Chain A
Amino acid sequence: MFAEIFSQEVIDETLDILINEIPYALWETFYVTILATLFAVIIGLPLGVLIVVGEKDGVLPLPKPILSFLNLLINLLRSVPFLILMILVFPITRFIIGTTVGTTASIVPLVIAAFPFVARLVETSLREVDPGIIETAQSMGASPLQIIVKVMIPESVPSLISGITIAITTILGYTAMSGIIGGGGLGKIAINYGYYRYKYLVMLIAVIILIVLVQLFQTIGTRLAKAMDKR
């Protein structure tokens, strides 16, 4: 099998596929990952904030049933495997995008899978904020909203960036899976050529590109978090 992988014929064919398909697949992966992360943060950030400030001795205590419901929702969504979640949310996808197939459609399950994860990451980051600093803001007459916007979030920015970096790399992994439901990108290339058509070299290269992407996002995220941290 391995002798065949690197035969001249295979290499030529692979090069052909790479040149024709990889740039667009790369772009698709990129755009799906970034958009999915963006929406996941837009939903997950406020949710994570609510879970922390809504606690009994938080800065904006919520009624217990609401808090329990939010926690349950997050745990439920987090426990469904992504492969199954993609199919389960077809009705929602169809409602929002109009179809369940394709690259753009794959953003919906990605967001639904990622926002609970982001909410938990945000929760962890906000809990690291020194309670003394929150008390200080209260002693200055800050309203709950001011405490969240001026103190809790800005103080946890480096930690939030680290969290979002983890989310991006995880979502990147999920985009590869969405190749199954017709989502485009490197995952589709790997599955279509490698799995369905036994072109292992193409699969190998798609995987290597994914690895490089994860490294890239992780390095940028880590550097950014470090540069932002004034502690």
Chain B
Amino acid sequence: MIEIKNLSKSFETSDGSLDALKNINITIADGEIFGIIGMSGAGKSTLVRCINMLERPTEGEVVIDGVNLLSLKEKDLREIRRNVTMIFQGFNLLMQRNCLKNICLPLELEGVNKKDAKKRALELLDLVGLSDKAKAYPSQLSGGQQQRIAIARALATNPKVLLCDEATSALDPKTTRSILSLIRDINNKLGITVIVITHQMSVIEEICDKVAILDNGEVAEIGEVAEIFRSPKSKAAKSLVYPEDNEVEVHSEFALRVVFNGAEATDTPLIAQLAIEKNIAANILSASTKSIGNKAHGVMILSFADEKSLVSAKQYLNQIDGVLSEEVKNVR
């Protein structure tokens, strides 16, 4: 279990001290895939580096399986780092070493003999599906393949925790999905706790069990991913779950956000029914919905002529299963 307690981190800059993280409290259970999301500058990279002490927190504690990392000496921290490994956005493979030797590196650092290290590296190459690339150099691989090698390298020391710092941000959507499914497989097979840092909500949606939303160095919201997708409460969460709100200009005072969360709505034209049954004319400001297996997913923003029609439309929509609507207030 990883417990982050009252953690703060500030940096000394030329124009005074900058608070990167403020009073963070997060508990991550063993075997969980935990997401930490935020816009750039929210402090998520600093936070993940506090978990393996690449950055020392200014205040607070990081406790892993009962051990307070701040109480450890540099040498003992190095031991911990073999248990809490990390992958990065830029893959960070050694360009002058071939793939096999890259995977061997953490084992070499630990003092494992060459033969055993090679055997372990070959197993890991197999696990990430790149057995044929042992002798290839990183520059000969695609981004997705490089990240697979980086994952194999991170697993070499049999860690308990894998930190992923924007691990898919440099990859295209298809490769991102394949890397995410590899991470999920590893989590399933090996029971490794995974902490995923990202700015992409789709990554959280795809693999995380729980998520913490960081905004300006603070945890804005924390909870089950499904719950936060269903009803984001904080402003930061809303802008991540409904990025459309930032793109659409809502001039109307009476606007409603309609979220389709697996509603059986595809064969009943909802907006038309609203007009026929309730005699309410809704203006569609933006819509981004798709049907997956005859279920609607997505978000729509509707505007109405007055308060009265907005209220009754909201009532009407909320009684439908899998549809959730609420007033839009925080838009420009």
Contact = CB atoms under 8 A, between A and B. Distances in A.
A61 to B, nearest CB: 12
Contacts of A158: 96
A140 B80 CA distance: 9
Tell me the dominant secondary structure on chain A's binding face. Answer: helix
B114 interface: no
Contact of A155 (B77, B80, B90, B95): B95
A138 B138 CA distance: 20
Contacts of A139: 52, 54, 81, 85-86, 163
A219 interface: no
A135 B54 CA distance: 8
Contact of B92 (A130, A146, A154, A229): A130
A80 B78 CA distance: 45
Nearest to B90: A132
Nearest to A138: B54
Contacts of B82: 140-141
B109 A154 contact: no
Interface string B77-121: 111111001101010111111100000011011100000000000
A135 B273 CA distance: 58
Best-surrounded residue of B54, B77, B78, B96 (most CB of chain A within 10 A):
B96
Contacts of A229: 96
A230 interface: yes
Contacts, number: 70
Interface string A134-163: 011111111100100011001101100000
Contacts of A151: 94
Nearest to A158: B96
B109 A133 contact: no
A143 B106 CA distance: 11
Interface of A: 130, 132-133, 135-143, 146, 150-151, 154-155, 157-158, 228-231
24 contacts: A130-B90, A132-B88, A133-B93, A136-B88, A139-B52, A139-B54, A139-B81, A140-B157, A141-B77, A141-B78, A141-B79, A141-B80, A141-B106, A142-B109, A146-B109, A150-B109, A155-B95, A155-B96, A157-B96, A158-B96, A229-B96, A230-B95, A230-B98, A230-B138
Given A139-B86, A141-B109, 7 more contacts: A139-B81, A141-B77, A141-B81, A150-B105, A151-B94, A155-B95, A230-B138
Interface of B: 52, 54, 77-82, 85-86, 88, 90, 92-98, 105-106, 108-110, 137-139, 157, 163
